[in-house]
Each structure stands twice: as C-alpha cells, then as structure tokens.
Amino acid sequence: MATAQRLSAAWPADSRLIDDRRLEIGGVDALALAREFGTPAYVVAEDDLRSRARQYLSAFRTHAPDAEIHFASKANPCTAVLRVFAEEGLGVDVASGGELHVALKAGFEPAKIILHGNAKSEAELRTAIDAGVGYIVIDNFADLERVIALAGDRVQPVLLRVTPDVRGETHDKISTGQADSKFGLSLRDASAAIERAAAAPNLRLDGLHLHIGSQLLELGPWRDAVEAIAPLGDFPVVNLGGGLGVAYTDAEDPPSIEVYAAAKVAAARELLGDHVRIIDEPGRSLVANAGVTLYTVESVKRNVSTWVGVDGGMSDNLRPMLYGARYEAEIADRFGGTTPSRITGKHCESGDVIVAEAQLDEPKPGDVVVTPATGAYGYAMSNNYNGIPRPPVVFVKDGDARVVVRRETFEDLTSRDID
C-alpha cells in the first residue's frame, strides 16, 4: 500500500509525496497533470486557497470582529482565483482598470472593491466611481483633485495613502514604506491632503492607508508604521496594507497568519484606538504556496555547472530575473535528489535562470520538474517573450483537475494584429 508524506511549507497544504518520491497535489498525480495539460502549467490547489482565506478571516476577527480582508489581486489576477475569494467572503483590492474589470467579472460586490494606484487615469477613476467601489485610495494631490472633479454630486468614500517612512526588511524593488517612495503622500504632505479632502463635500474621508513592503518576515516594522501615522488624526478606518512573507524555500520562516494578525491588530488598537475598523490586504500569503509550476526538461548539459533546460522560464516566472527571487525545484516523481543543478529557461537571455541552486535526481530530458510557491506573481507577470504562449491555469481538488485559464496558442500571438 502506498505511503504518503507531507511536504514543507513551500508546497500546497494538500500536496503529498506518494512512496516518498512522487508528487500528488489535491489528490492528483503531478505526472498525470503534465500529460493531460502539457507544460509549462500553473497548478493551483483550490482547497488551499479557501483554507488560507478562512484562516485570515478567523485570525483577524478573533481580535477585531469587524475587520475586513481584501485580496491584493495583483498577486494573482486570475478570474477563478478571485471568484474563490469572493465566495469565501473576502474583499479585493485592484490597481488598474483591468484588475477592476476582472474583479467585477469574478463576482465581487463593488462595495467590497478598493481601487489603488499611484498613476490612476481619469478613465480608471471614472469607471471606479460609476461602479460604486467601496474605496478609492488617494495617492497624491493630482489624484485627489481628479476624484473631486469626477465624483460630481455623488459622495465617494476615500482613504488617504500615507508613506510612513518605515522600511521593512525586504528587497529594494518590493519595499514601499520608505520616505523616497513612488507610493503615497509623505507625512509632511498628508495633513494638507486631509484638510483638502475633508473640505470637499463630495468626498468622505474615512481613514488612512499604509503599506511598507512585500515578503516581510518581521513584525516590528508594522507597529512602527502605525505609530508614524497615528498623529495625523482620529479616523474610523485604517487600512494596514499587506506584505506578510511566505516560505519559498526552507530558508524562510514567516510568522503564521495568526501571529501576524494579532500583532497588527494590537498595534492599531494601542496606537489608534479600539473604535478603528481594520482592513488588511494580503496578496502573496493567500496564493503563493497554493500554486506550483510544472515544466518538462528539454536538455541537460554539463560544463562548469549542470544546466537543466526546461520549456518555460522568464515568460512564466519573472521574479528570479527581476530581483533575484529564490525557489526550490524537484523532479516530480523523484524527490530528494543530490545533483547540483541550475534550472534555466528557454529564452534568449543568460539571466533566464529559474532556480540557481537546485538539487535534482540525475535530471534527463523528458523529466517533469516542479517549482513550488509560484501561485503569486507567476501568472500575474507572465508574458510572451520570444513568442512563447502563456501557460494554462489548472485547478486541482479532491482528485479532479480542471482548466480555468486555457493555454495560449500561436494564433493568440497575432490575434490583435491589424493588416
């Protein structure tokens, strides 16, 4: 009888190793998924998404019964993913007109949508106002004046994004809370913006928004950020952003959702008061570890390193190339290898390396390689570099698999051409 072994936190919660070496996700064999749907393919464990959504709601509402959780859709703007979170009672934050369109199509009530962005167009703001979104987050003075002008005789609820001059320990390219940031108003300018918003009869300024970065593994900076904005006034709402890190490899050990929620609520209660309604906006921590990517090995060669060439790369996972993000990898039916390998994509770039330091079991062409923790920012950043069609998204649950986003075709690459 086959035995099953649980995997580390980097992998979907319902993934297992059968007979210690062969990957199963949501009750479906990984090799069977590769055969049926091809590779590369994004595979998402649906029950994992639902479980994390429920953990977030429970963790925050244990300490703040009226707290709201809004999924940061930029992490994975797949309609099916958003639909799961809408069904689980979450709200959503969007950062463009396109993300707003997807959120509405996924079934979110407009009142549970928050529009963000440092460079919102008039068209995006008009669409959001006409749709009746719950909040528009004001990022700058131009933003503020545009919303006032476009709201007309309607009263638009808004939050004001403030940059607290607090930096979390993360990569420069995903740090947002430092003073010199593209996002939000400085502490110096925030007071003037608050006065202007309060004076506008067609705005309802409910509170402040802050965000200090992404993939954060320490709790202290969030308290520092709340302390920085506390002197700006007494408001009924505070949006604490998101940013909780996840385990991409065994080297990361993020706080649990429960510990994270307790710390953020405690800071808000202590520094802003018990009356403040709390909104949190997790992104990657809801989706990253629910997803894996499957690849097929096309070539193996050895010079100084062992180079394992697969059929995807920077077109389906851009994070390693953008800011050196690290991932694990395994051969789907031979976990626990010891061959040092560099897993490289098929693109015409020397930097197209998905995993620089993998340990594989004697990789060979035809093997299926799997990387965990790709549920965040893989699908979101996918592209057609070198004319590569984007992968499908496959949901797995209770032994069944279904395509929720089809694989692109070569014809799709030219479908927008005009002769």
Tokens of 229: 């904005």
Does the annotation place 220 within a ligand binding site?
A: no
Q: Is the peptide bond before 391 cis (omega within 30 degrees of 0)?
A: no
Residue whose entry in the numeric block shows the structure tokens 């463009």: 96
- Distance, in Å, from the CA atom of 174 to the CA atom of 368, rounded to the nearest integer, reads 31
Contact 82, 103 (CB under 8 A): yes
- Distance, in Å, from the CA atom of 298 to the CA atom of 269, rounded to the nearest integer, reads 55
Report, in angstroms and rounded to the nearest whole number, the Rg of the chain calculated over CA atoms. Answer: 22
DSSP result, 281-316: ---HHHHGGGEEEEEEEEEEEESSSEEEEES-STTT
Q: Is 196 exposed, middle or buried (0-12, 13-18, 19+ CB in 10 A)?
A: middle
Q: Give the strands of the sheet with 15-18, arranged side by side.
A: 4-6, 15-18, 22-25, 28-29
Tokens of 396: 């797995």
Q: Which of 251, 304, 348, 418 is catalytic?
A: 348
Does the annotation place 282 within a ligand binding site?
A: yes
Does the annotation place 161 within a ligand binding site?
A: no
Does the annotation place 377 within a ligand binding site?
A: yes
- Distance, in Å, from the CA atom of 171 to the CA atom of 188, rounded to the nearest integer, reads 26
DSSP result, 211-263: --BSSB--SHHHHHHHHHHGGG---SEEE----B---SSTT--PPPHHHHHHH
Show Cβ contacts of residue 346 under 8 Å, excluding neighbours closer than 6 positions.
298, 309, 310, 311, 312, 313, 352, 386, 388
Contact 87, 107 (CB under 8 A): yes
Does the annotation place 283 within a ligand binding site?
A: yes
Return the number of other C-beta atoms located less than 10 Å from residue 357's C-beta. Answer: 15
Asked about 78 being catalytic, the answer comes back as no
Contact 100, 91 (CB under 8 A): no
Does the annotation place 323 within a ligand binding site?
A: yes
Show Cβ contacts of residue 351 under 8 Å, excluding neighbours closer than 6 positions.
314, 321
- Distance, in Å, from the CA atom of 164 to the CA atom of 239, rounded to the nearest integer, reads 13
Question: Binding site for substrate, residues?
Answer: 284, 319, 323, 349, 377
Active centre residues (catalytic) = 348
Question: Binding site for pyridoxal 5'-phosphate, residues?
Answer: 243, 281-284, 377
